[in-house]
Amino acid sequence: MKFYNYSAGPSALFPEVVEQIKHELGNWQNTHSSVFEISHRGPEFMKFAKEMENTFRELLQVPDDYAVLFLQGGGRGAFDAVPLNLPLKHKRALYLTSGHWSRQPALEAQKYLEVKTAELVDKNFQQTKIDWTEESKDCDYVHFTSNETVEGIENFNPPKVAPGVLVVADMSSDILSRPINVNDYDVIYAGAQKNIGCSGVTVYVVRKSLLGHASKICPAILNWETYHNSDSLFNTPATFSWYTCGLTFKYLKDTFKDLANLEQVNIKKASKLYAYLDSEDFYQNKVPQNLRSRMNISFNTPNEELDAKFVQEAKEAGLYYLKGHKVIGGLRASTYNAIPEEAVDQLISFMKVFADKYK
């Protein structure tokens, strides 16, 4: 039996990456030590770190006038880092909400500035609009979450904002799953533990002209300029997590060449699962076509009891971690980059058997 891990995060790494980690454990690059047992300032690690940044830049096509930074603190750390680092003239920001993870940064930002919120996706899972010029006029920035990990809603396009207003995106759960135009954003951030590597690293892509405006209460470990000036080695980084990120970036480049190719694989996987969900009344998915996430596919059986049975029986069939997030319940299959098409096929086969058994 084959085992697949559909965890929403931390989530599966590519098996080839895990094999390489196993192989190199204990003697990384002839250091006779594991990668997490040596100095982050030694020549081997510094070289690895530079290559990691360069490969990430290449994959996401990051222009030279953007800094790529690796911090700690996760996505939640970024909820503070954004208002603490950005220049604030109006001391006001617009947070567009579309689910659980876009509401959290709006709550946190209230510590630092006036927060306006507006629904990007309403309670009936309909996108309200993409042009926020009027509402953002008196704001310093507009924040949105490109992929709602809990509900399975993907906001593929950045919002249109008033001139001079910055666009900030939390891409924690869909970064590197498709090409984007970095120039459409001023700040992008993402926790590593879904599409990138192990938890412990948060990647920031920041327009360089925005560095140097941090509030004086901004802690040094969240200060983007400090990290930019130290090649992200201001304090001791989570070296093992960096290592997993570097290996994943290299694997993505060597295997898929670019994100356009990888996107095709992700479209194929998600389309298969949605097509099956649409064809079987036993399962429900409420997200409309244009907002369906390719990374987190949330669905329900007819009732909670069957949802629980589904999780249990799926596990017996080798399909792990399909329980939905506690805030909405139900079921969720996370189909990040490292999940192969065969895993989706095996899930659909199981879903067919389960539906026939209980409907």
Closest CA to 251 of 12, 32, 33, 43: 12
Phi and psi based region of residue 254 (left: phi greater than 0; alpha: psi -120 to 50; beta: remaining)? alpha
> Is residue 197 involved in binding ligand PMP (CB under 6 A)?
no
The tokens for 3 are: 């085992």
Strand order of the β-sheet with 166-170 is: 66-71, 202-207, 187-191, 166-170, 141-145, 92-97, 114-119
DSSP type of residue 72: S
Does 193 count as an annotated binding residue?
Answer: yes
Rounded least distance, CB 121 to ligand PMP, Å: 14
Rounded least distance, CB 355 to ligand PMP, Å: 29
Does 235 count as an annotated binding residue?
Answer: yes
Does 75 count as an annotated binding residue?
Answer: yes
Phi and psi based region of residue 116 (left: phi greater than 0; alpha: psi -120 to 50; beta: remaining)? beta
Does 170 count as an annotated binding residue?
Answer: yes
The tokens for 274 are: 């949605």
Q: List strand residue ranges (DSSP E) for the chain, in order.
A: 4-5, 66-71, 92-97, 114-119, 141-145, 147-148, 153-154, 166-170, 187-191, 202-207, 296-299, 319-320, 331-334
Does 332 count as an annotated binding residue?
Answer: no
Does 149 count as an annotated binding residue?
Answer: yes
Q: Which residues does 206 contact at the CB level (< 8 Å), separation at least 6? A: 66, 67, 69, 85, 186, 187, 224, 228
* Residues 330, 308: Cα–Cα separation, whole Å: 8
Rounded least distance, CB 350 to ligand PMP, Å: 25
Which of 7, 9, 115, 293 lies at the binding interface for ligand PMP (CB under 6 A)?
9
Which of 135, 170, 186, 307 lies at the binding interface for ligand PMP (CB under 6 A)?
170
Nearer CB in complex with ligand PMP: 55/172: 172
Which of 11, 55, 145, 223 lies at the binding interface for ligand PMP (CB under 6 A)?
145
Each residue of 214-229: b (16+ CB within 10 Å) or e?
beeebeeebbbbbbbe
Helix, strand, coil shares, percent, the chain, to 5: 40, 20, 40
> Is residue 253 involved in binding ligand PMP (CB under 6 A)?
no
Rounded least distance, CB 192 to ligand PMP, Å: 8
Token look-up 């209230």 returns 110
Backbone angles phi, psi at 67, to 5 degrees: -90, 145
Which of 57, 76, 137, 272 lies at the binding interface for ligand PMP (CB under 6 A)?
76
Residues touching ligand PMP, count (CB under 6 A): 11
Rounded least distance, CB 42 to ligand PMP, Å: 28
Nearer CB in complex with ligand PMP: 135/170: 170
Site string for ligand PMP, 23-62 (x = CB under 6 A): ----------------------------------------
Nearer CB in complex with ligand PMP: 323/346: 323
Phi and psi based region of residue 347 (left: phi greater than 0; alpha: psi -120 to 50; beta: remaining)? alpha
DSSP type of residue 38: S
Rounded least distance, CB 161 to ligand PMP, Å: 20
The span of 39-47, 71-79, 136-144, 332-340 binding ligand PMP (CB under 6 A) equals 71-79
Binding residues for L-glutamate: 41
Write out the binding residues for pyridoxal 5'-phosphate: 75-76, 101, 149, 170, 193, 235-236
Question: Residue positions in the annotated binding site?
Answer: 41, 75-76, 101, 149, 170, 193, 235-236
Give me the residues that bind ligand PMP (CB under 6 A), please.
Answer: 9, 74-76, 101, 145, 149, 170, 172-173, 191
